[in-house]
């Protein structure tokens, strides 16, 4: 679904202009300083000109679209230009951002069809937004002020930049930004920022190789990639290093591959391949001058056909190759924007996506407050929105992205700074359906940062988890979008109720007065059921007609279950049964059970299992360690 930005319909506006015989003038983004700056003009007298006034033969594209079409202008938006360079290398992606591009092109055969109007699409907060602009572009002394192409009659990059500036409030809103955000806006994917200074990439060859495989996979599956060298001071920004690279500057990664060494037929029988990466400087010049730079002697180790196949040039066009080792040694930050494939018809991995849109909102009632701040705020943290999701495999890679609404558009009114946001993940009881009132086992979480989105990739074992998205400080309000990607459906839902609700049947059937958390930690010395003397055990917890079952633990007599169940109880005198079974193909077999009497408070003990006949033979049937917490429902878990 595509939503028209500010209700402007491209087709309706174009048709009206064609009927009236005039060129479109956008009332929402006028040719005035307010479209350029927040407060005051910083570049002198600006003249807005249409492409026909800048070239006798304007085109959207000249000889197709490529990363070489983009050059950064008088705006600190290398982050945006680098993202555009990555976009230009992916036809399926740029055709989504630039829809109906053939129909939007200037036509010599039908000049009367031209109406001075264009439209472009960006992914914003869970939906594709169609942004309409006129073709009047800001110039000084007859030259485009901002993004422009190598070819003076090619205008796609300048027009895309104008549409993006309109959506963000003005051109100045693009002065300083986050490449990860632009990559998401172009794709609807999820961006993973990576700190190359951490995790030992520079020292550990095995970790570098693992990272290269991940980068190669993202690239081969159509994702977009960017990188930069961190500037630690204002003086470092845009500082050129001796190696030719520039600090504080976003580069687009335009190729990732293994390059074959050697010449002739023998090269095909050699296993020697270099892991290499190609980047582009949005300035269109200033390149890496180290090993494997454009004209370095290292390229003599590669056959001419291989050089032609991978597109090696010796021009100072801003694009250059490096070995992946040199890349890790010089760059500090990497952004991987994955295209999340949710199609079941694909040959590649298909992800299951859960999407939640909600808000942080203040309220005087603690039960209704949803702006509790991070975990530092112990009394209010659990007042934030809570969502549970299930991991149904023994272990699953989970991708989590939390995004807030872009606040740059409100910068003119003093509301342009993003909130510091993040999230925590807690492992909870397998049957939890009510909100947490006590923090559980924290298994992961994001950093808190005032960026538009935060991301986490984490491997989680089978179980149920609660994710709590928050602002860093309590009492702050804003809208957010939470996306969770798993290998199998996670059944993600918001936890809204604090406890079982009172109904008309509560008087007849009773209403829970106690809540009990049963935590099965581990078992030991279980009876061996298989031919090799081990079992495939699982545990079932039964309480007042409800039950919770763990996953199966393969080939062990001493499983670490780490399984929790939560029970809202009407009959506090009823005991709790814990049963262990062995999983078989035909029919599961019983291994033993314990019955725990109802007790107030906390129990933590190791109990001897009994078989069905309650015998106490030495070889039957083992022990189980449990922790049970029971409390009043008014102080519920």
Residues classed as catalytic: 78, 249, 281
Using alpha carbons, list the distances in angstroms from residue 433 to 384, 493, 504, 611: 16, 9, 21, 33
CB 267 within 8 A of CB 249: no
Q: What is the CA radius of gyration of the chain?
A: 30
- The b-or-e profile of 98-135 (16+ CB within 10 A means b, else e) is beebeebebeeeeeeebbbbbbbbbbbeeebbbbbbbb
Cα–Cα dist 153/569, whole Å: 75
Contacts of 254 (CB under 8 A, 6+ apart): 67, 85, 86, 89, 278, 279, 280, 319
Q: Which helix (H) or strand (E) holds 18?
A: helix 10-20
Phi and psi of 410, rounded to 5°? -100, 10
Per-residue tokens: 585 = 């193909």
Cα–Cα dist 539/525, whole Å: 14
3-state secondary structure 58-121: CECCCCCCCHHHCECCCCCCHHHHHHHHHHHCCHHHHHHHCCCHHHHCCCCCCHHHCCCEEEEE
Report DSSP letters for 176-244, one per residue. Answer: S--HHHHHHHHHS-EEEEEETTSTTTTT-HHHHHHHHHHHHHHHHTT-EEEEE----SGGGTTPBPTTS
Token pair 């000889």 is found at: 63
CB 129 within 8 A of CB 167: yes
Q: Which helix (H) or strand (E) holds 162?
A: helix 156-168
Spatial strand order of the sheet with 2-4 comes to 2-4, 127-134, 117-124
First to last CA, the chain: 41
């Amino acid at each position: 679904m595509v939503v028209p930005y500010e209700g402007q319909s491209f087709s309706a506006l174009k048709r009206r202009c064609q009927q009236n015989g005039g060129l479109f003038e956008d009332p929402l983004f006028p040719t005035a300083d307010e479209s350029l700056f927040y407060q005051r003009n910083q570049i002198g007298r600006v003249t807005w000109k249409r492409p026909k006034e800048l070239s006798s033969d304007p085109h959207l594209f000249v000889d197709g679209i490529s990363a070489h079409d983009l050059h950064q202008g008088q705006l600190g938006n290398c982050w945006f230009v680098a993202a555009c360079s990555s976009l230009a290398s992916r036809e399926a992606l740029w055709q989504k951002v630039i829809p109906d591009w053939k129909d939007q092109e200037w036509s010599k055969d039908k000049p009367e069809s031209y109406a001075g109007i264009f439209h472009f699409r960006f992914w914003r907060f869970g939906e594709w937004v169609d942004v309409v602009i006129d073709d009047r572009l800001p110039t000084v002394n007859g030259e485009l002020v901002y993004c422009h192409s190598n070819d003076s009659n090619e205008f796609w990059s300048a027009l895309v930049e104008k549409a993006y500036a309109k959506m963000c409030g003005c051109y100045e809103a693009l002065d300083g930004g986050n490449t990860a955000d632009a990559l998401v806006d172009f794709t609807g994917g999820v961006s993973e920022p990576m700190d190359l200074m951490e995790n030992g990439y520079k020292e550990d060859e095995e970790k570098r190789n693992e990272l290269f495989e991940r980068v190669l996979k993202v690239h081969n599956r159509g994702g977009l990639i960017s990188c930069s060298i961190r500037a630690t001071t204002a003086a470092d920004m845009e500082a050129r290093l001796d190696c030719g690279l520039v600090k504080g500057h976003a580069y687009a990664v335009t190729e990732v591959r293994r390059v074959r060494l050697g010449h002739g037929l023998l090269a095909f029988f050699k296993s020697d391949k270099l892991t290499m990466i190609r980047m582009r400087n949005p300035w269109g010049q200033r390149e890496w001058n180290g090993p494997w730079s454009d004209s370095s002697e290292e390229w003599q180790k590669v056959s001419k056909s291989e050089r032609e196949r991978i597109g090696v040039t010796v021009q100072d066009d801003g694009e250059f190759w490096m070995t992946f080792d040199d890349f890790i040694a010089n760059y500090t930050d990497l952004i991987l924007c994955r295209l999340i494939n949710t199609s079941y018809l694909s040959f590649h991995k298909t992800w299951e996506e859960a999407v939640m849109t909600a808000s942080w909102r203040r309220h005087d009632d603690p039960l209704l407050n949803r702006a509790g701040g991070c975990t530092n705020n112990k009394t209010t943290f659990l007042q934030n929105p809570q969502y549970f999701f299930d991991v149904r495999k023994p272990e699953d890679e989970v991708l989590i992205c939390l995004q807030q609404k872009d606040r740059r558009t409100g910068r003119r009114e003093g509301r342009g700074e993003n909130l510091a946001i993040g999230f925590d993940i807690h492992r909870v009881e397998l049957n939890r359906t009510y909100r947490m009132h006590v923090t559980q086992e924290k298994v992961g979480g994001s950093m808190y940062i005032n960026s538009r989105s935060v991301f986490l990739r984490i491997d989680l074992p089978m179980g149920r988890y609660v994710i709590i998205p928050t602002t860093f400080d309590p009492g702050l309000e804003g809208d957010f979008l939470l996306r969770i990607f798993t290998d199998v459906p996670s059944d993600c839902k918001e936890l809204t109720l604090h406890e079982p609700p009172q109904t008309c049947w509560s008087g007849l059937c009773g209403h829970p007065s106690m809540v009990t958390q049963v935590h099965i930690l581990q078992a030991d010395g279980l009876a061996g059921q298989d031919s090799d003397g081990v079992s495939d055990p699982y545990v079932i917890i039964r309480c007042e007609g409800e039950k919770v079952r763990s996953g199966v633990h393969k080939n062990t007599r001493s499983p670490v279950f780490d399984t929790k169940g939560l029970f809202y109880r009407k009959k506090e005198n009823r005991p709790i049964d814990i049963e262990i079974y062995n999983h078989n193909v035909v029919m599961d077999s019983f291994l033993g059970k314990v019955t725990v009497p109802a007790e107030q408070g906390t129990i933590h003990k190791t109990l001897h299992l009994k078989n069905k006949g309650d015998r106490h033979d030495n070889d039957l049937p083992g022990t189980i360690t449990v922790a049970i917490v029971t409390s009043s429902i008014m102080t519920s878990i």
